[in-house]
Structures are given as structure tokens and as C-alpha cells.
Structure 1
Amino acid sequence: MEKRHCHEIPCSFSSLLFFLLFLSLHFPSSVYTLPKEYFISCGSNTTIFSAGRNFTGDSNSGNSLSFAIEGKSITVKDSNRSTKTPPLYQTARLFKQKSFYEFEIIISGTYLVRLHFFAFSSADNLSAAHFDVSASGFSLLNNFTLKNSISTSLIEEFFLSISIGKFSINFMPQGSSFAFVNAIEVFLAPEDFIPNDAPHISRAGSSNSNYEGILSKALQTIHRINVGGKDLTPENDTLWRFWVPDDSYIYMPATAKSSTFHSDKPNYLDGISEYIAPDLVYQTAKEMNISSDGPSNTFNITWSFNVSKNARHFVRVHFCDIISKTLGVLVFNLFIYSNFSIVIDPYDKTGQLAAPFYFDFVVDSDDSGVMNFSIGPRANSDEKTAFLNGLEIMQIVGESGSVSGTHKPKKTRIFVVVGSIVGGLGLIGILAVVIGLCLRYRKPKTVENWEWSPVAVHRRGSSHNRMPEGSVIGSRVPDLNLGLKIPFAEIQFATNNFDAKMIVGKGGFGHVFRGTLRNGIKVAVKRSQPGSGQGLSEFQTEIMVLSKIRHRHLVSLIGYCDEMSEMILVYEFMEKGTLRDHLYNSGLPSLSWRQRLEICIGAAKGLHYLHRGSAGGFIHRDIKSTNILLDEDLVAKVADFGLSRIGPPDQTHVSTGVKGTFGYLDPDYFRTQQLTEKSDVYSFGVVLLEVLCARPAINILLPREQVNLAEWGMICKKNGTLEQIVDPSIKSQINPNSLRKFAEIAEKCLQEYGADRPAMGDVQWDLEYALQLQQTATWREPHEDSATDASAMLGLPNIQRFPTLSMSVEKDDMPILREDSANIWASEVFSQLRIDDAR
């Protein structure tokens, strides 16, 4: 390489020139040194050392730093010095009127500005302060107060582009209140730390152009996340930043696992240094939770962050491939809001393992107040996994009053001086750089590889729900079946713009409307409403679960809509409504005993398929009469999978918080918090009694001993008044043997301990036998049934029960869904469609 340079200029000179210019062009951050100014301890007259910085007291008249305080202010001190309050937060400067700190800026560039607040105990109630903060035309804080943060310090961090000259931070009390601050940091960031432009992601997922003029704005740090790692404090960050773990932001935690890089240091490449993010961020990651014997998770990892609604954010996403064993095999997708995706190819970006890189975006938030990020494998990737190391979200909070949108920091650093010294030889030097770069060994590509692609749906053997490459899907929830998406306009048409006359039911999720699609299909439309008891998790659960199953006795999903923050599920319309509607309190004709048996058999078949079928392993967790629906031929179909969990047959239980509906809730599950498929069996046993006596599982209007249906049955047995629990409208229809068998089934289902209950397949078989007994009037052989008369039908065991209470317990994990069948395509769902009292 040097010999080629000798053709133009002497080797020694060209090499030196090449070296200097190469450094100036490619390693600006490598020569960055941590600044010593400005770090101000407000209200203090001493220098305080904190996390590697010396904070100079602003009351110290002997300080040599170039800053001043203008306006009327007083110093306040912590009145309780015996506390463990850090010294930096034991003093503050308080402003009764508009005042400001003024700093002398000698180098133009991007600056970090941090304002520290702590409402310590003093005669002035600092938590009552109410004020605004601005900085040289940037509006930083509006109507700021610490009323909700009085027990801990609060640091507000901003990135601002500041030119040479005077820079002021203004404190403006609101009304008769006051302002205060405990400490201030104003220091220069590494050169080009924040770009002036980045790909712009609109609410619709469009990224056709860059957003320009970032440097003319103020950026406020909202979230800084160390994915897969621990808390990082200023002591172990290169720019004295705080990073927090991602665990509280991750959706469906079981989809991810943490990974750690055990080498001493990541492999930093050109333009990337430890100042972008510290080593500890790049040495940890979250990756997809895949077991050694096959995937235990087939769904993307998703993080959700609270952000301001309808605002603009600068986002930096950090990657470092610490999980691959070889180069060039791992390629995956990054999704933002699930409607924009970019292909992440670590090898294409860096060319080596454990090499940090990052992507910057400007992202417009929607009106949900939540920003979602997901990662997931690509179909053509050799490795079906994905990873993320870190994430930063900064809100763009204001325009600069003195800096234009095309502002670039003035280059006043040493390498610009070197460039001016070489003067006329600069052009030759640049040519030398270009030639040298061309002759170097292959440099890893740095061109970002953008791709428009749909949200990944990880399934085998079906192309029914695959979207073509180049599609942009506006889905606010990842991993849904995109082939089932229905435009909001189509749903408006089907329901006559959600006409109140079309309402056929109401539950905790929202209203259920009857509708007709343009192709003539009758549908039930369940639309979420703000403040409903159900939400995003149950909405996503129903769709994901039903992408795995299909059965005659499970209600079919026609589609869903999640446009404009709507959560709408569209099902086949069940003409006859709920089983409960036909048992009591509806005025509908009474069902015959034979019809009731057939309905119970159909529901049992659906549950058996759910537990052990080709897509089996699901536990419904909310079986009740309102979640068993009837079509126009009275064919039963199980509904409502919003609370479902996976419970594969080879597992004994799933440990989880208790959810369900009291009266149907398995006491063994309630006691141990260990969910099994036998929990559904218990609930189904309660439904059997409900079918038999045509009354609710819980009726608080009845005398105390009759409130709980199962307990009431035991009392009737003890008192010899069993006839009270049989629906009078069917007493004369029931064959005694059929009734005896039915009571036996209910008794088995309602055993106190799950291990003593039958599987749903056995329940289905016994119900079919009870129907056979009803149809044929065949008496069982003595060895098959020792009962001698029908009055023994409700000889129920003495089942332990628990106090009445609502069992919609706090937020629980979403189910982890498996991919069991190559031939199952998403077309089924479980949800109440005509319910008056459902969730």
C-alpha cells in the first residue's frame, strides 16, 4: 500500500499525512476525553466528588469556572443531615423569580445537560415547587414539580446542540411558587454523538425519507435500557449515564432469556466506541428462549415502553452479536410498533462477532402512549433466534430559537487544526486516504439493509397467512395472524358504524355487535372499550391461540382489527347465544334433557381437543355456561380464550397466578396456584350441575346455604331433598339411569384434588354413554353401576370450598404457545359473543 503512495509523494510524508487525516476522519470519538466542566453543586460552597466528577459549589467565590448566576436566589440546605442523603443532594439553589445560570461555551457541539432534583427536608417545601426550565431557546421542562418524586432524586437529561458563546439555563417559577435545582451538568459529548438526520418512522410505518434537523432540536432522555443486564450507574458508565434492566418492560418474559459475553471487552470497530454505550451494555443481551431439544418459544420478543402520545422520538437500538458461534449465520428482524421492520445482519454490519453496532431512528408515537419494539427470526435465517443489547428513547421536546435546522457543530478540534496546517496538501492527503482504503482488506459493509416485511408469523406447512415481501402491516401487536386482518372500514360497514341497535351482548372486554360482511357472512364483532376489564394481553392471546387450533366445537375467528388503537375481534355469529341463555333468566324455550346432553358432549369434545388434540396443551381457565355458545342447530362451541395458558400434556402443572370466575374455580388451583387441565375439568363439572338444575353457579340473592351451587347440592343430599336441584322442566324427561350416570360424572369432575378427576376424554365418553342410556333406556349391568335408584344422583363428595371473591387477579403472564401441527391454520377463537355478565 505504501509503495503505491510513493508514486505521488515521498513515502514517509504521505504515510504521516495519511495517518493524521485518517485519524481525523475515522476516529473522532477515540480522542474524546471526559471533560471537567461544567459540573455544579447548587447551593454549596464546597467541591463535592460524585461518581467520578468534581461538582463545584456555586457559592464558592474562588471557583475558576466560567459561569454565573443571574437573578434573585437563595441557598437551602438539608435540615436533617443525619440521613443517608448523598452530599450532592444536601443543598439546592432556590429561585423566587426568573433566574438563570450562564455558561461560557468555547467549543461548539452536542452537549449533555443534566438537571438534578431532590426534595430534601427543609423549611421550604421543595416538593411544592412548580416551575419551567428553558435553555437558550429550548423548552426543557414545563409545569415541572416533584410532588410524586419526593423520596428519591430525579435527573432530567437532555442533548442540545450549542454554539460558541453564552449558554443559559433559565428557571421560571409558576405563579406564586418557586423553582430550585440541586446540581447541574453541562458537558461536551463525543463528536457526532447525535446525527443530524435518521430514518423517519411514521405512525403508519412509512420510512420513505430521513428526518433532518435533529441537531436543531432538544432531546430529552425517556428510557435507557440495558437489555439482559443489570442496573448501570454513573460509576460504571462512560458518560455517567444510568441504564436500567429490561425485565419490567418485556412482554411475555418466557419468550426471552439473558445471555452474557465472558470476554473482557467487545470488539469496537471504526466509529464505535465505549462512549456510545459502555462495555457492560454490549456484554449482555436478551435472546429468544430456545431449548436444546427444540424451540420452547415460537414468538417474537417484545418490549413495551410508556411514551408521550403523538410525539416524536429519537431512538437508538444497540446490538452486539455475543450469541453466535460462527459468522454470517444469524439474520433477524427488528420491528418498531409492529408495522415497520428492518433486517438486522450482524455480519453485514460488522464482519465479526462481538462487535457493537447500532441503528438510529426518529419514530412518531401514536395515541396509545406505548411504543413497542420486537425482535424475531427471519424465515431464511440459518439460526432461528434474535437478540438485543440496549435501547435508548429520547423525546424531541423543542425547537432551538437560535440554531437553524441545518446547523452542524463547528469543527474546532485539534484534527481540524492539523488539516489547516497541511493546507494545500490536504487534497493529496484525501486522495491518499481513498487509495489506502481501496487497497485495504475487505471492509465490512456499513450500508443499512432496509426491508419492508410483514410481522413474522412462525408456522410450518401453511402459506395461508403469509404476506408477500414488501408489505407494510399496521399491526400494533406482534405475532398475530396477518391473513386474518380486517380493515376498520369493513367492520364499520358490517355493524352500520357500530349502531347501538346491533348490540347483542356486553362483557368486560366491551360490546358485542351483530353484523354482516360485504360477502354476506354473519359475524359477531367484539369491540374493546376504554377502561374495560380486558385488554391488549387477552386480545393478543385469543388471536395467537386460535392460530393453533381448529375444531367443530370451538368458535371460529373470522378476523381481527387493531387499527387506530382499536382492538376488535370478529367471529362466526352464534345464532342461539350462550348456554346460560337457554337455561335460565332469558325467557327462551327450555332445552330438553337430550339437547342438554348433546350440548355437554359437544363442549366436552372441544375441551378434550384443547387439552390433548393435535394442537393440544392449552388450558382454557374460564369454563362456564356463558363461554359455551350455540349455533342455529344448537351445536355447542367453546368460547373465550383470553385467560388461556399452555399446559402441555407432559407437564404436571403450570405455576401461575389465579384467574377465573368464582363458582367455577378449581379449589385445588386456588390453593396451590398450580394450573392443570384438571382445573378445566372441575369448572366443567360445575357447568354440568348448572345444566341439571338451571341456576347460576353463584347466586348471592339466595339464602347463604344455597349461594354456591355445588354446596347446595351437598346440603340437599344430606337433607334428602335432592329433587330441589333438578330443573322442574326436565324432571319427567330424564331416564333414571341416564340421570344417575350424569350425576356420577359431575361427582368425578368435582373431586377436591385434580389428580382424582377424570380427563376430558373420559368425561366425553361417559356423557355419550349417559345420552345412550337416555335414548335406549338400557339398564346397566350390576357390575357397571351399583346405584339402585335415581335419587342417588347427587351424592356429591364433601368438597372443600373457599370464600366468595372475584378471581380476576392482577396481570398475569401471556401464554407461551407451541407449534404442534403443520396443517393447522388460524381460523378459530374463543370469546363470549352474547353475554350479559361475562368478563
Structure 2
Amino acid sequence: MLTEIRILLLFICVSSSWRVLHAAATGDKNSLFLACGSQNGGTDGDNRKWDSDTKYLVSGDKSVMTQPQSNDPSVPSVVPYANARFFQSETSYNLPVTNQTSRILLRLHFYPTPYPNFNVSNSYLSLSVGKVELLSNFSAYITAQALSQNYIIKEYLLTPVSSPTLEIKITPFGNSSLAFISGIEMINSPDLFFGPDPVMAGFSSNDGANSGDVVSQQTISVKENNMELMYRVNVGGQFIPPKNDSGGLMRSWYDDTPFVYGGSGVGIAMTSNMTIRYDDLPSYVAPLAVYQTCRSMGFESNVNKNYNLTWVFNVDANFTYVVRFHWCDFIVDSMKINSLVFKVYINGQIAESEIDLVAMEHGKKATPLVRDYVTRVDDKKGDNLLWISVHPAGASATLVNAIVNGLEIFKIGGGTTSLAGKNPTMSDLMKKYQEEQSKQEPPGKFADQDKSSNSNTVIISSAAGGVAAFGVAAVLVIVALKRKKRSAGAESSTNSWLPIYGNSHTSASKSGGGSTTISSDAASNCRYFSLAEIKQATKNFDESNVIGVGGFGKVYKGVIDGDTKVAIKRSNPSSEQGVNEFQTEIEMLSKLRHRHLVSLIGFCEENREMVLVYDYMSHGTLREHLYKGNKTILSWKQRLDICIGAARGLHYLHTGAKYTIIHRDVKSTNILLNDKWVAKVSDFGLSKTGPNMNQGHVTTVVKGSFGYLDPEYFRRQQLTEKSDVYSYGVVLFEVLCARPALNPNLSKEQVSLADWALACQRKGNLEDIIDPQLKGKINPECLKKFAETAEKCLADNGINRPSMGDVLWNLEYALQLQENPDGVISTSEATTNQVDHNNDDPHSLIAMHRSTLSLESENADGNTDDVFSQIVNPAGR
């Protein structure tokens, strides 16, 4: 497929003769930060002062200033997301230009969250600066949903303007009568692209080992083109926040881990006794932190010869891209030329056959370098992936290795006046994933490389931080599971919208997936609603009744039978969760009844609509009550009770039903709370049953939520109940620390809650990161037992994790330690403790669980006593 893509490559060398061309870096004095829709502006988390946008609007504007109904805890700061300005007709901003000779760095902020009286899902806009169209038919809501982001930042590098003002024109697009924006940044930028106009050349390569002949040439002026930033990553290092950027440009540099193909390479940091010397390179090009870390192939020569260190990025087709490499050699001890030599590939074509960092640095160790390569990606076969690879070169090189310190990717108009791309959709990304699955080798692969040796392993916990920041979850799935053929027992998915109930059952041949027919048993165990009943219950799906949005679609509060409150989940045709998930939820929940599982009342499948009706959980999700600024702050006792309730529900799924049921999407948003604060596990659309678990696992395509996903499951595609245990361990730390499972705005080691909490637990300083609301309120022994339980859940190998039954009983023991700090326990508990005299912990409830599980199964009423968990005997239902 990639041979069909026209690739144009060239590099720009940085030489000392250009030093005089470097413009001085500008600072905040020439910057303008506008909090759109705000009366007074404010200060953000990076201490930037944001002004109100009111005085920059053209006269006669009829826009509306408003505030979000609530702010998600993952939003980085209050400003500029505390307000938004909505437009119902074409409107312009006129921003003063203080330097008409410098480029303008423009950032646009969008926060597509619910606003009073405005439905952002119906907002589409076009945005232009002068004659340059930056956005067309742009939906911040669709983009955020498709890329799993809460907010969208679009960044542009514009050519100098001759006018004293920069006009930004915003227009509702097409039939949309609504446009909005949350913030605007305008910064005078120094000359980031210096040097003579490059000659863009196309190369061909037959075997990936030798540079090809030049087949075409043309001159392209990077200076004269407007650009959109696509990606900016600190390779091998951690997230660099805007306040730590150089030159007053307030750029964010993200962790590269989500983009690394196969999870390969190792991050290396510069030793403290070395000093970076910018020499010919202006310091504003990238901050020191970019050059103080790198990703290396490693130091095993035999291994390095057999693979490429590769990154994969999702881009818009039919555009030209500037790929900027940042290098700084601090790992080579020798100052001799030919010590570290490697090749650079872009989309399978060789961009440069020999990069010799020692030679390029002229013997000056730890000297930053940049090189730019220009490539054109056409859309002949719908490909929109940009592959970047490095590989050792030179038979006499001292090190068989290759490194990269930083990467930037800019989209340029390619001679047009538009930089606007299409709105991303999850369905398009998944189609790409399905296409890529059947391929055998990535671009740039060497013909003599052993195909069987190229395994793909991705470390989820560290990768997912960038996922949240860049919205590349789908890309990560594509590259990590590419070439993984579905086995005979693997599931297939479909987004078909054919009816599956009544007289119009679909078959596998129609849907392209497995059977999508609801069993008569499932249909008879729950109520069928007509679409008219559903519309009446939700007031025709009134947006004011929306109480949540998930992967399947929106959830509405509704009323049926006059006074019964229900939660109604309506499918979204653009969602990745379609017919299969709808059927699975019905099949699962119609047959399950447990105090700690959400109850399915019924469903509707009519007129291409798929709707599920549940008991109404008045207190919403567990997540809503954990993070600062949300609903009721839960006490430690409440949190323990909720954790125990959820564990009871999962334990029942694993052991109490006819077959083992693996939830596969355990997270804090799938634990609901009713009016009595009873926890109920919900959302069974991704669940799998294990009717034949004698192999210990079910082979299946990986599904789940990043941050919670079991890395062993991701690597091996073998699902076990221990995958739920891992996800639940993340939830336990989430409950303790009151922070999201992923937060890309933190340092690299803190992005993943699982990694961070485990590191603190092992260092003995876990108390430093727990929720401040809980400080001094947790019994130390209780905290110790709770943390140990969570730690065991997150063991790398599933076999080393406890069962959900063991988790449950340890949590119940932790609750007793909290309620009885003096160690007083009930008589029945003391008696039961005598069952296992070999247990290391004389008060361990695991021993009691193992000895009394058979007694529990005799009780079929689903009730529980004050301490002990009980499962429902399936034979008694």
C-alpha cells in the first residue's frame, strides 16, 4: 500500500553560516492570551494571564458568553476552559500584531462539554485567518469523542502578515447554526525554520538498505507556508509543560511512548556531569530537556541489527508534512567519526542513508542538532499513517545503535490556502486497524529480517498518558496489534445497524460478524419497549435529560410506568460499540441477578435505534465522587463499602454464574451508586463468557479502557478473570488517591496511576499521594492491608494476582481494621480464622473465604450480613 504513496524527502542542514539569521526569541510581552466568553479573564496553571476577548470582537457581534455545566477533573486548568463564547452567525476577532516581520504562533482551544442552552454536538464551524482556511466543517465534539479527549487544542505557525491586525473569522458551517471557541493564544514566534529554501526530492529504495535514485525535484519554501502542528514529542523523556518551554513559545512536549511501534527502544537520560551547548542552534528551537533524554535501540548489537526503532503517527492524507528530528549525542564515549551511524526512513522510503552524529557535531559532544525532512502523503488507498524509523548503518560503526531525542511533525498546505482536515471518526480508525491486521511487515522493514522474531509488545500504563494528550488510542491499537491474525476462537466485531429483535433477526452472513440474534431466553427475561415508549420516557431524547455519555452512546434519565425512574442508554451510530455490544449486554444482564450488579429492565430495537433500560442510579458513577470539584466527597468508610460492593459483584461474575464471566471493562465510571450508596457494576457490552476455561483463558481481540487495561492481556490477547483483577487494582488506587487512571499533564512517572502508585508503595511513601481529604482519617493497618491488596492486583503476571474472592475478603478485613482499630473481631470470625493455621496473617479473611465458599453458595437470597460476602447460587434463580 505504501508504494502507492508519493514520498518526497529532503533534509535541511544546520550550519554555522546561518547563525546571523536567527531571530531573537520573543517573550510573553508580545503574546496575547484570550479567555473567550469570560468577562475578566484569569490566570492558568502555568501562571499565564488570560484577558477577556470582548474588546477584540468586531462591533455588532451577537455572540453569547457562557460557562460549562461542570468541568471534568482531567481538564488541565480552569482558564481558558471556564468559559466559552458561542456564535450563531459569522463573527471576527481583530488581534493586534506587534511585529509584522515574524511568524505568528496561533493556538485555538475548544472544550466540548455540556453548556446551558447549547448543544455542542450540533456545532460545526469554519475558521480562517485572512485568506487561509484553518478549519472547515470542524466539530470539536466529534473530534473529542473520536480521539478520547476532553479538550482540543489546534496549533498553527502562520507566515508574517502585513496588516497591523490579524483577523480571525469564525463561521457556523453548513446547516449548523452554532459555533463556539474557548480560548485563543497569539504569540510572535522566532524563526524556527531557518536556512535556504530546501529542494524537495523524491527517493526510491528497492530493499531499504541503499538510497535510491532521485526521481523528481521541486523547490518548496517552508518559510512561505502556513503550518499546523500535528505532533511534538520529547522522545525518551517525560512531558514538558508550556512553562518549561524555551523562547516564550509555551509549547507542550509530550511523551513519545504511545507512538512507539512494538514498545521497542529504551529511554536514556543524560548524566548530571554533562552540559548541553547549543553552539550554532538557537536555544528557542527546543528546551534543554528535549536534548537531555533520548530513545535508544539499546546496546545489544545482535538484537539491534534485526529491527527498526519506529514511531507511527496518524495524519491527514493529501497534505505535505515537515518532519523535524532533534538529536543530541551524549551516549557515545568516543569522539571519532563513524562511532554512531544510522539510517532514517519515512513511510518505508529512505530519507537519509547515514546520520553520523559525531561528524555532524564536529567533535563537540552534547551539541543539539535538528534536521527537517519533507514528505507528501497522498490518499490513493485511504492511508493516513506516517511511519518514522531509524536503523543502524555502517559496517565499521563502533555502536550498532540509533537514537532520537525529539520529533515534531507539521502539516503544510502544499500550495493550497487550506490546512483543514476532516473530522476524525472512530469507525474510520477501526477500519484502518482491520486493514492493517492482515499485513505482514511494517514499512521500512528489511527483507532479510526474520518475520517470526518481530513481536509486538506495548506497555499500556506508560503509553496511555500520551493517548489522553494526543487522542491516539486507535493508532496505538493499530500499531500494537498489526499483523496479529485472529485465531479461530477470536471474536469479531461489527458496527452493523441491522435489526436483531422480533421477526428481523440478522445472521452472521449479513452483519459480517458472529450471530447477532438475541436468544429467546434472554428476550423472555426482560421487557421489550417500543420506541414510542422510550421517546415518551425521555421527552423525545431531550438533551436536558442526558446524565452521561459512554462508548455506546448517551445515557438519559427517564420515567416509565408513570413514576419509575430509569436510566436509558441510547446507541450512537458512530460509536465503536454496536450490535455485538448491544446483544452482549442483553444476554448477560437478562440472566444475572445480584445485589451488586446493575439491573437491566428491558430494551428497544426499532427503526435503527438500539436502546437499553436500567434501574436508575441516583448517585451516578464512583468517579464523580472521587475528584475535587465533583459531587459528594466520600469518606474512607464509604469508599471501602463501595469497593467491597463492587468486588462482590465481580466475584459473583467470576465464580457464581453458570460460566465464568469476565467483565473486561472494569473502571470507576462503570461502578454505579444507587440512592443508598450501594455499588453496582455496570456496562457489560464488552464482557466475555468462558464456557471452556480448561485452557485458563479466552483468546480474543483486545478491548477495554486505557489506564485500566491488563498489560498481559494486551500483549498476549489471552483474556482471563485476572484481567478484571488488574483493572480493579487500578480502581482501588483511584479510590485511595482520588485522581484519574491517566493524567498526561503530569510528569512521565506520574502519568499512569498504576505505575506511580506502585512506585510509591514500593518506596514506602504511598501516604504522600493519597487523597488529601483522607489524610489522618485512615487507620494505618487498614491502609497497609488496602494498599497491599491493590499492589497484588497489579502484578505483571496474572498468575501472581489474587482472585476476586481473595481481593474481596482482604478488603472486608481492611474494613474491620478501620472499624476496629484495637483489633477486636467478631466471635464467628475468630472461630473461622482457625481453619488455616498456616496462613501468614492470622486474621486473613482469605483463609475463611476458601473454607466457607461452599457454605455461601447454599444461600440464594442475594443478601449479605455485616461482614461476609455471599454469592447467589445459580441453581436457585
User: What TM-score comes out, normalization by structure 1 length?
Assistant: 0.45
User: What TM-score comes out, normalization by structure 2 length?
Assistant: 0.43
